[in-house]
Amino acid sequence: MKNKDLLFIAHRIPYPPDKGDKIRTYHMLQHLAERYRVTVACMIDDPDDVRHVEPLRQMVHQVHYQVRTPRAMKVKAVSSLVTGKPFTQECFYSKQLQQAIDAYIDQYDARAILCFCSSSSEYVFRSRHTLKALQKKVLLNDLIDVDSEKWQQYAEKHRGFMKWLYRREARLLLPCEQRIIAAFDRTFLVSEEEKAVLAAFGPVEKIEALSNGVDLDYFCPKKVSKDLYPTAECKLVFSGAMDYWPNIEGAVWFAEKVFPSVKEVFPDAVFCIAGRNPADAVLALKKIPGVEVTGTVPDMRDHLATATICVVPLLIARGIQNKVLEGMAMEKPVIATCGAATGIKAVDGQEIIVADGEMQMAKEITDLLKNTDRRLSIGIKAREYVEREHSWESHLGRLSELIEAAKFPSVPL
């Protein structure tokens, strides 16, 4: 299969695997690059990520990219208000990248085109090659989550202009998602729960749940030293990009509403917020006794290894949270809100603990801190669960099955 060409279009550079969507794209790309001659076309929305182009080139046949600064992204978002299009699509669409993609299609007879996120599908729909011609190839799209539903959730949490803007994005994105489902051979979502969201709006026969995995060899407690960082007797760790609004909201809520109750029972408890680019609202939490904000860390495993409990206090969450899987892989008990645990089939109370509300979460944490044997047992079972259910290879084999199959709909769901 290695001599077969494949075009992989992503809204962000799929390297390195250091944050949510890039973890998923990286592992997809790694799987496909072992089997096909892959060309990557992507936007780069952080100029610092240009340094990752060369390592990415070492993985694949070739890379086409366009850089768009955060300032330029804002300009594109504003212009979308005039064009009447979703700002998601306008921000991640580039005419120059479209030209490179069309030139690639001229030169190579790609077996398949895989688009990551709804915005990347615009390069298929706006191509100078007709959709009818492109549909002779295997067209795959990974929506991951239902973004229209995500923006609707954001709207419900905001007021004024931002409420209107997020509601507008939700309204405009839904028909885009439905168009992708109709035009592409298969559309992927990260969980059956996400698929059920779209089922309320139209047919879902061509949608499949393709779960997230976790790098079990990398996130392995036996391979990480616990000596790099001081280990508190009661250390609660929340990991993730701390410039991402749901993480910011969750960190603030936990630090202000849940952690004080834990401190009453365990005065020496520490709440460690570990993740890149902490927003001002997160940095301000350092004034609360026992709260630590690390900023960017060289290796998140170092902090997970020293955690007593991993907490995932997200009030808004879509799909499957990598931070939950990573904590479980590190043999740590994870206490997550119901939203953060969505898509995780682990047994509540044995392999994970699900807790909603300030009082319930505080009680579950203090009860677990009091019971060392139960804490260790849940951590061991959590690792066993991800080994059983969340290896990347077990999920991603479906991609090559679809690419190699006869043209749909003969491929069984």
Quick one: pLDDT at residue 3? Answer: 80
**Segments making up each domain of the chain, as ranges:** 5-213+392-404, 221-389
pLDDT class of 399 with cuts at 50, 70, 90: very high
For the four alpha carbons of 69, 96, 146 and 59, in that order, the dihedral sign comes to negative
Over 60: is that where the pLDDT of 411 sits?
no
Over 50: is that where the pLDDT of 374 sits?
yes
Q: What is the mean pLDDT of residues 194-218?
A: 94
Quick one: pLDDT at residue 21? Answer: 87
Q: What is the mean pLDDT of residues 265-292?
A: 96
pLDDT class of 231 with cuts at 50, 70, 90: low
Nearest in space to 237 (alpha carbons), one of 321, 302, 317, 322: 302
Over 70: is that where the pLDDT of 226 sits?
no
Over 70: is that where the pLDDT of 18 sits?
yes
pLDDT class of 265 with cuts at 50, 70, 90: very high
Q: How far apart are CA 11 and CA 269, in angstroms?
A: 40
The strand pairing partners of 38, in sequence order, are: 6
Nearest in space to 124 (alpha carbons), one of 270, 169, 132: 132
Radius of gyration of the chain (CA): 22
Quick one: pLDDT at residue 33? Answer: 96
pLDDT class of 405 with cuts at 50, 70, 90: confident
Mean pLDDT of the chain: 93
The strand pairing partners of 348, in sequence order, are: 352
Kindly report the number of other CB atoms within 10 A of residue 287's CB atom: 8
Q: Per-residue pLDDT tens for 57-110?
A: 999 999 999 999 999 999 999 999 999 999 999 999 999 999 999 999 999 999
What architecture does CATH give domain 221-389?
3-Layer(aba) Sandwich (3.40)
Q: How far apart are CA 272 and CA 379, in angstroms?
A: 19
Quick one: pLDDT at residue 412? Answer: 40
Quick one: pLDDT at residue 387? Answer: 96
The 3-state DSSP composition of the chain as helix, strand, coil percent (nearest 5) reads 50, 15, 35
Asked if residues 80 and 72 have their Cβ atoms less than 8 Å apart, the reply is no
Over 50: is that where the pLDDT of 413 sits?
no
270-274, strands of its sheet edge to edge: 291-295, 270-274, 235-239, 309-312, 334-336, 353-354
DSSP state letter for 352: B
Q: Per-residue pLDDT tens for 315-328?
A: 988 889 999 999 99
Domains 5-213+392-404 and 221-389 agree in fold: yes
For the four alpha carbons of 239, 363, 213 and 251, in that order, the dihedral sign comes to negative
Asked if residues 120 and 10 have their Cβ atoms less than 8 Å apart, the reply is yes
pLDDT class of 394 with cuts at 50, 70, 90: confident
Q: What is the mean pLDDT of residues 33-51?
A: 96
Quick one: pLDDT at residue 227? Answer: 65
| pTM score of the predicted model | 0.89
Q: Per-residue pLDDT tens for 158-179?
A: 999 999 999 999 999 999 999 9
Over 50: is that where the pLDDT of 187 sits?
yes
Q: Which residue has the tokens 């909603």?
A: 356
Q: Which CATH class is domain 5-213+392-404?
A: alpha beta
Quick one: pLDDT at residue 410? Answer: 42
DSSP state letter for 233: T
Quick one: pLDDT at residue 140? Answer: 97
Q: Per-residue pLDDT tens for 107-143?
A: 999 999 999 999 999 999 999 999 999 999 999 999 9
